[in-house]
Amino acid sequence: MSDLWLGWPTQLTIFAVALAVGIMVDRSTSNRASAVASALGVLVLTQALAFVPLDTLFFDGDLGRTIRGATNDFVRFLVVNYGDFFDAISEPVLRTLVTLERTLRDAPVPLVLFAVGALAYLASRRLAMAAGMVVALYFIGTLGLWEQAMQTVSIMLVSVGISIILGIPVGVLNARSNTARKIINPVLDLMQTIPSFVYLIPALMLFGLGNVSAVLATVIYATPPLIRLTDLGIRYVDAEVVEASRAFGATRRQMLTGVQIPLALPSIMQGINQTVMMALAMVVIGSMIGARGVGQTVLIGLQRNDAGQGLIGGIAIVMLAIVFDRISQAAGARAQKHRQVAH
Amino acid sequence: MSLIEVKNVTKIFGPNPKAALQRYRDGLSKEELLAETGHTLGLADVSLSIGKGQIFVIMGLSGSGKSTLIRHFNRLIDPTDGQILVDGDDVIKMSIRQLERFRRTKMSMVFQRFGLMPHRTVLQNVAYGLKVRGVGRAEREAKAMEWIERVGLSGYDGQYPTQLSGGMQQRVGLARALATDAEILLMDEAFSALDPLIRSQMQDQLIELQSELGKTIVFITHDLDEALRIGDQIAILKDGRLSQVGTPPEILLNPADDYVTEFVRDVNRARVLTVETVMRPPKTRLTGADIDKALGEMRRTNADWGYVVEDGRYLGVATQESLAAAVSANDGRNLYEVAEDGPTVSAADALEAALPAALETDYPLPVVDKEGLLMGVVSGREMSSALTPPKVASAAAAEPGGSAGRAGGAAPASTAGKTAATAESPAAAHRETAKLDG
């Protein structure tokens, strides 16, 4: 490694990072004192790390190797000491996944087609749309990918379910507390921008190869829009309506369940729709870490240099996307009714 | 007895209101406070006393702090300093739970843009206050139904707010506020978003409801005509400070400062002021049937007109001439028969209604009550002087007057005058020179 990356430039870089963090905090809080404090915090933290006997010291070693070593040590530490804990997390997810997958695969195909048609009709109240969804799904079967599609659907449903369970409460929290929002928003940015493989590597070590890691990757990638849109939806609920409920003595809970969430529902539904779409985008990546389903079809096409197989896998994914999107959009549109404040 | 007692409530908006409060107490003005500390003075030492069963109107232009003030009553906004007592209970000291209970039972509120919940039907909206309180579905919906009928929305209970007009939506808002049986009704510019015709209908309905139910109503408006029409008491707020509190005639006849004067100038006074406010006792009451005695009385008091009264009941007017003629005719008629019938007005009549009659007669009009008893008299001149808006001491006139007064304190007035003269003379001299040069 060239000397260019070692010594005092490293220190300077750390200082610049500290400054950048300070400026970021300053922008979000418009509070000089806390900005300076965070900058100092970063500096002190890095200096303190430098004294911890890791593989290399900052001062004459290189920063990249330090981080790498520390991360690997940490993951190994987790695997060794908290393996049971991670098993305990993955176990119920896996069980749900397996049950769902088995149910979908064992169910007679006409029943599944009928169920999807019924769901589409309930969401849209339009027969034509229901019929269209049934046709799209049947088409996947004609491609010979029915079983794979059912596997993908079950991973999707579980991932989206977890995203909803996590995303809506966090979105509510963000809407209510500016502090929470300031902390969580950068995390969401990170979740959406950091390449999936970066967190898939430790995830594989912790959860093993297969569906659970795929679910985790999907949840990390697909939850942020739901959080953001829940937050936005609740913040944009007409202030006078919320004030009215307060004036009538509603508790915070009554306000949330009776006014804020119902009125934010169109936005929340939009968030769920986004989550579903982003979850589908993760199907192929999921297959790379051992998740089964349509993604695997595409992956095999890639590995065997079989463009045709890649295409039919792609078509199946698009068909699934259409079905999921139309149904959730229609449900969202129906939620929109009577939600706008009249003046 | 006062139901709501507001004592020295001050509200300062900004990141550190307590520190800013100290600066304000040290004598900083609203503008200085904003310039030096970045804090906005919302309310400045407002004290009010609102009686039970009153319609109390708080009036002011936008930015005067009226909406801030009304939100202090149910503590939608916390004051920076001061005390609010409702029925003797200190609202500021209440815990969250106590406050929620207080809002559910004691005070309800009507909003400018209605604040209806768009995802609930009219029935569910009206029942909302009861639902929050935990009243069962059947009971609360029955009660809500009653109020929907009461405000004239029968048949609309299943509709959503978006399907109704503005006036109807505000009726829903009113019904929702009334359905909780709260003793106090806060109305924040409740009718301001409605068009004039609907607005006056709603005002009528409010006055009607209030007289039936005897609620205490705190009503916010920026419209003086509305304030005068519905208010028993009016408080005028300017820049967070109370300018004046009084009954409508008090405000109209004795505006406390230039701001209020400016405000009341454009009001149709003839419609707001009643005969009662300008009525005075009759100069000459003629009682008993004896004409000679009556004539003597009139001559003694040197009155041209006398008001003939029997058992306090007004019978008519008599002049010295008519009495003298009756005496000389000596036809045996008594005073009651001689009295001439004429127009009368009642104390509650607006001046608008009384004025034409006053212009027709050349004596002050008798004011009689429902039983026909003579209450007083009112002359056309008095009416017209009450109708003349008070003059604003204009800013231009007031300023030099003020400074002259101050200057006068420092030096004798003559000196001040001389200084002014000498100050002027060089210019005059200069003009002279200029003329000569030209």
Residues A150 and A242 in one domain: yes
State the CATH number of the domain containing residue B328.
3.10.580.10
Q: Within a domain: residue A71?
A: no
Residue of B117, B135, B168 to mutate for A, most A C-beta atoms under 10 A: B117
Give me the residues of chain B with pLDDT under 50, please.
395-438
Q: Within a domain: residue B6?
A: no
Residues B68 and B184 in one domain: yes
Identify which has the larger pLDDT, A256 or A31.
A256
Residues A86 and A57 in one domain: no
CB B112 within 8 A of CB B192: yes
Q: Within a domain: residue A97?
A: yes
Q: What is the pLDDT of residues A34-74, one digit of tens each?
A: 677 777 777 777 666 655 544 444 445 566 777 788 888 88
Q: What is the pLDDT of residue B426?
A: 42
CB A314 within 8 A of CB A320: no
Residues B296 and B381 in one domain: yes
CB-nearest to A259 from B74, B76, B117 is B117
Q: Cβ contact (<8 Å) for B132 and A245?
A: yes
Q: What is the pLDDT of residue B410?
A: 38
Residues B125 and B193 in one domain: yes
Q: What is the nearest CA distance from A102 to chain B, expressed in angstroms?
A: 40
Q: Within a domain: residue A68?
A: no
A269 touches chain B (CB under 8 A): no
Mean pLDDT of A233-256: 93
Chain A neighbors of B116, CB-CB under 8 A:
241, 244, 341-342
Residues B213 and B332 in one domain: no
Q: Within a domain: residue B10?
A: no
Q: Within a domain: residue B316?
A: yes
Q: Within a domain: residue B19?
A: no
Q: What is the nearest CA distance from B114 to chain A, expressed in angstroms?
A: 8
Chain B neighbors of A341, CB-CB under 8 A:
113, 116, 118, 161
End residue of a domain, out of A61, A90, A105: A61
Q: What is the pLDDT of residue A11?
A: 66
B167 touches chain A (CB under 8 A): no
Q: Which residues of A168-182 are buried (b: 16+ CB within 10 A; e: fewer)?
A: bebbbbbbbeeeebe
Two tokens, residue B351: 């001046």
Task: Give strand ranges (E) for B312-430.
Answer: 313-319, 365-368, 374-378
B94 touches chain A (CB under 8 A): no
A336 touches chain B (CB under 8 A): no
Residues A105 and A238 in one domain: yes
Residues B283 and B190 in one domain: no
Q: In angstroms, rounded to a whole number, what is the distance separating the alpha carbons of residues A326 and A128?
A: 12
Residues B126 and B100 in one domain: yes
Residues B312 and B175 in one domain: no
Residues A196 and A317 in one domain: yes
Q: What is the pLDDT of residue A153?
A: 93
What does each C-alpha distance from B343 to B312, B340, B356 come to in angstroms? 17, 10, 10
Do you know the residue count of chain B?
A: 438
Q: State the residue for tokens 């009642």.
A: B346
A239 touches chain B (CB under 8 A): no
Mean pLDDT of A199-217: 87
Q: In angstroms, rounded to a whole number, what is the distance separating the alpha carbons of residues A253 and A260?
A: 10
Report the complex ipTM: 0.73
What is the DSSP-derived secondary structure letter of residue A258? I
Chain B neighbors of A262, CB-CB under 8 A:
119
Q: Within a domain: residue B172?
A: yes
Q: In angstroms, rounded to a whole number, what is the distance separating the alpha carbons of residues B131 and A73?
A: 57
CB-nearest to B103 from A247, A258, A340 is A247
Q: Cβ contact (<8 Å) for A243 and B118?
A: no
Residues A54 and A86 in one domain: no
Chain A neighbors of B104, CB-CB under 8 A:
248-249
Residues B87 and B182 in one domain: yes
Q: Within a domain: residue A98?
A: yes
CB-nearest to A240 from B105, B111, B162 is B111
Q: Within a domain: residue A72?
A: no
Q: How far is CA B275 from the centre of its chain?
A: 17
Residues B383 and B290 in one domain: yes
Q: In angstroms, rounded to a whole number, what is the distance separating the alpha carbons of residues A175 and A14?
A: 33
Residues A17 and A89 in one domain: no
Q: Within a domain: residue B383?
A: yes
Residues B260 and B286 in one domain: no
Structural domain tally of chain A? Answer: 2
* Chain B nearest-CA residue for A336: B119
Q: How far is CA B166 from the centre of its chain?
A: 26
Q: What is the pLDDT of residues B302-328, one digit of tens each?
A: 888 888 888 878 888 888 888 888 878
Q: What is the pLDDT of residue B408?
A: 37
Instruction: Please determine, for residue A28, whether its predicted confidence score (pLDDT) is greater than 70.
Output: no
Pick from A118, A155, A153, A152: nearest CA to A134 = A118
End residue of a domain, out of B231, B250, B268: B268
Instruction: Please determine, for residue A25, whether its predicted confidence score (pLDDT) is greater than 70.
Output: no
Q: Within a domain: residue A343?
A: no
**Least confidently predicted of A113-127, A319-333, B293-307:** B293-307
A41 touches chain B (CB under 8 A): no
Q: What is the nearest CA distance from B169 to chain A, expressed in angstroms?
A: 9
Q: State the residue for tokens 């039970």.
A: B52
Q: What is the pLDDT of residues B392-430, one digit of tens each?
A: 655 444 444 333 333 333 334 343 333 333 434 444 444
Question: Can you give the residue range of the structural domain that contains B180?
Answer: 52-268
Q: Within a domain: residue A73?
A: no
Residues B252 and B362 in one domain: no
Chain B neighbors of A248, CB-CB under 8 A:
103-104, 108-109, 128-129, 132, 176, 180
**Least confidently predicted of A154-168, A172-186, B241-255, B291-305:** B291-305
CB-nearest to A244 from B99, B115, B180 is B115
| φ/ψ of residue B82, rounded to 5 | 115, 180
Q: Cβ contact (<8 Å) for B108 and A248?
A: yes
Pick from A187, A280, A179, A281: nearest CA to A228 = A187
Residues A177 and A317 in one domain: yes
What does each C-alpha distance from A60 to A1, A63, A197, B195 come to in angstroms? 12, 9, 30, 78
Compute chain A's Rg from CA coordinates: 24
Residues A105 and A250 in one domain: yes
Two tokens, residue B423: 């100050």
Mean pLDDT of A283-308: 91
Pick from B287, B286, B290, B288: nearest CA to B304 = B286
Structural domain tally of chain B? Answer: 3
Q: What is the pLDDT of residue B425?
A: 41
B118 touches chain A (CB under 8 A): yes
Residues A52 and A88 in one domain: no
Burial label, B411 (beta-carbon count in 10 A; 0-12, 13-18, 19+): exposed
Q: What is the nearest CA distance from B223 to chain A, expressed in angstroms?
A: 20
Q: Cβ contact (<8 Å) for A241 and B116?
A: yes
Chain A neighbors of B107, CB-CB under 8 A:
247
Q: Within a domain: residue B378?
A: yes
End residue of a domain, out of B268, B297, B321: B268
Question: CA triplet B98, B104, B108: central angle to 5 degrees?
Answer: 125
Two tokens, residue A329: 């959009």
End residue of a domain, out of B268, B300, B315: B268
Q: Within a domain: residue A50?
A: yes
Question: Can you give the residue range of the structural domain that contains A326?
Answer: 82-336
Q: In angstroms, rounded to a whole number, what is the distance separating the alpha carbons of residues A293 and A276?
A: 16
Residues B400 and B320 in one domain: no
CB-nearest to A249 from B103, B112, B116 is B103
Q: How many CB pairs under 8 A join A and B?
A: 83
CB-nearest to B132 from A254, A262, A342 is A254
CB-nearest to A249 from B114, B115, B133 is B133
**Beta strand pairing status for B55-59 and B233-238?**
parallel
Chain B neighbors of A244, CB-CB under 8 A:
109, 111, 115-117
Residues A154 and A16 in one domain: no
Q: In angstroms, rounded to a whole number, what is the distance separating the alpha carbons of residues B127 and B108?
A: 13
Q: Within a domain: residue B7?
A: no
Two tokens, residue B400: 């030099």
Q: What is the nearest CA distance from A121 to chain B, expressed in angstroms?
A: 22
Residues A300 and A154 in one domain: yes
| AA identity, residue A217 | A
What is the DSSP-derived secondary structure letter of residue B365? E
